[in-house]
Amino acid sequence: MTIESRYSSFIKENMPTLVKNWVSEALISDHDPFKSEIIINGTKLIDFTLLFLEDKIDEEQIQDLSYKIAEERAQAIANIGEFVYNSNLGRSELFKHLSAFGENIGEVQPLIDKINYVFDQFIYYTVKRYSFIITQDIEEKKQFIDETHKERLTILGQMSASFVHEFRNPLTSIIGFVKLLRVDHPQLKYLDIIDHELHQLNFRIDQFLHVSKKEHDQVVEYFLINDLFKDITEFLYPSIVNSNVVLQEGLTQTIYIPGFRNELRQVLLNIFMNSIDALSENKGQKIIQYQVADIGDKVVIQIRNNGPKINEENILTIFEPFVTTKNHGTGIGLFVCKQIIEKHEGEIKCLSDDQWTTFYITLPKRS
């Protein structure tokens, strides 16, 4: 009678005691909903080990048991480390009785190898399946949270768009009456300031509406980037003067770019306005530099200011919606900028250090 046969017979005869000893040392929570299954599972695993010793089992049977236990551990929200510990207790219980069946290690080593193989495969398949179940569960919860968040954002966007539309109507009337006042009373004080502030407010409304509006037919036009910068700097002139900002132009080339002029104006205007806001914290000289370069098949726009450094954490989320470092910011300006630039098949990024905060906009030159 072989050592495998003698050992198998001993295990079969003493199965209830071996399993009882194993379970008595195992880490089992009183609240484990599958507590009653533990003895059944342990008995099956030992049965499979015996069958493997006799070459009567394949890995699929071990895998099926592993998957069953993984499902139970996941539903019980159990610590998978405790499962591994308990499994190795079962392995140790089987090893305790090996010395009685061989006079030297050479005789029992094949048994040790086979027992190790079964338990290693069992633990591997269980942990792998458990990890898959937990990961899938986390992803499903994350997807649910994301979808819920998107639904709320959609509702918020619809409400905001409705409100902003209603707000624009009286604003348009006020802008119109300011123009009439300018005609009838050209010497009246503060009209320029009022007009400028109303147009800035109108620009902010455009930002909100850009997030919620549907695409409509637009025609790409080629326009002179130099003229666009001139238009923006003239519009911002009161803010630049009031903030004591030094504007340094770097337009050395006459460059035409393709795109939707009003949308790109909105992007550049937003970056300039953000730069002016950032410079309000500067005690020394306040500088904004801008330049455009024609590089091969691309146009690169660079706008930078010497305001405070933006930390790395904020740089990573600066183009996300509703993310802002301003006390009264909306967090949609740069998000809209990114949308517009990507719509033009371009790229926008921001780099910041102790000297400069720089926005780089790269746009393709399409024919």
DSSP states of 270-309 = HHHHHHHHHHTT-SS-EEEEEEEEEETTEEEEEEEE-SPP
Confidence of residue 180 (pLDDT cuts 50, 70, 90): confident
- Say which range, 203-207, 319-323, 326-330, 351-355, has the weakest mean pLDDT: 326-330
Q: Kindly tell me if the per-residue pLDDT of 102 is higher than 80.
A: no
Q: Which helix (H) or strand (E) holds 18?
A: helix 15-25
Q: Which of 173, 300, 301 is nearest to 229 (CA)?
A: 301
- The CATH number given to whatever domain includes residue 41 is 1.10.490.70
- Residue 157 inside a domain? The answer is no
Residue type, position 5, single letter: S
Task: Give the bridge partners for 302, in sequence order.
Answer: 291, 360
- Higher-confidence residue of 351 and 40: namely 351
Q: At what angle do helices 191-212 and 261-279 cross, to 10 degrees?
A: 120
Cα dihedral angle (234, 238, 240, 243), rounded to 10 degrees? Answer: 180
Q: Which of 189, 195, 200 is nearest to 176 (CA)?
A: 195
pLDDT tens track for 33-65:
877 777 788 888 887 787 777 777 667 888 888
Which of 119, 144, 169 is a domain's end point?
144
Residue 50, domain extent: 3-144
Q: For the residues 10-36, what does the mean pLDDT come to?
A: 81
- Residue 271 inside a domain? The answer is yes
The Cα–Cα gap between 19 and 22 comes to 5
Q: For the residues 210-230, what does the mean pLDDT come to?
A: 72
Q: Which helix (H) or strand (E) holds 41?
A: helix 37-53
Q: Which of 207, 199, 240 is nearest to 334 (CA)?
A: 207
- Residue 174 inside a domain? The answer is no
Q: Which helix (H) or strand (E) holds 173?
A: helix 105-184
- Six-digit token string for 237: 């002139």
**Percent of the chain predicted with pLDDT > 70:** 86
Q: How far is CA 268 from CA 43, 274, 360, in A?
A: 72, 10, 11
Residue 275 has a CB neighbour count (10 Å cut-off) of 25
Q: Which of 208, 344, 332, 355 is nearest to 274 (CA)?
A: 332
- The CATH number given to whatever domain includes residue 346 is 3.30.565.10
Which of 144, 167, 184 is a domain's end point?
144
- Six-digit token string for 85: 């510990």
Residues 39 and 132 in one domain: yes
Confidence of residue 322 (pLDDT cuts 50, 70, 90): low
- Report strand pairing: 286-295 vs 347-352: unpaired
- Higher-confidence residue of 57 and 89: namely 89
Residues 235 and 358 in one domain: yes
Confidence of residue 275 (pLDDT cuts 50, 70, 90): very high
Output the pLDDT for position 324: 63
The Cα–Cα gap between 335 and 321 comes to 5
Q: How far is CA 171 from CA 85, 156, 162, 197, 270, in A?
A: 71, 22, 15, 11, 20
Domains contained in the chain, number: 2
Residues 222 and 94 in one domain: no
Output the pLDDT for position 323: 60
In contact, 302 and 249? CB cutoff 8 Å: no
**Percent of the chain predicted with pLDDT > 90:** 14
Scanning 185-260, the segments in alpha helix (DSSP H) are 191-212, 225-235, 237-242
Confidence of residue 367 (pLDDT cuts 50, 70, 90): very low
Average pLDDT, rounded, for the chain: 81
- Residue 40 inside a domain? The answer is yes
For 276, list phi and psi in degrees, rounded to 5.
Answer: -65, -40
The answer to whether the pTM exceeds 0.85 is no
User: What 3 state SS string does 87-156 have?
Assistant: HHHHHHHHHCCHHHHCCCHHHHHHHHHHHHHHHHHHHHHHHHHHHHHHHHHHHHHHHHHHHHHHHHHHHH
Which of 115, 144, 173 is a domain's end point?
144
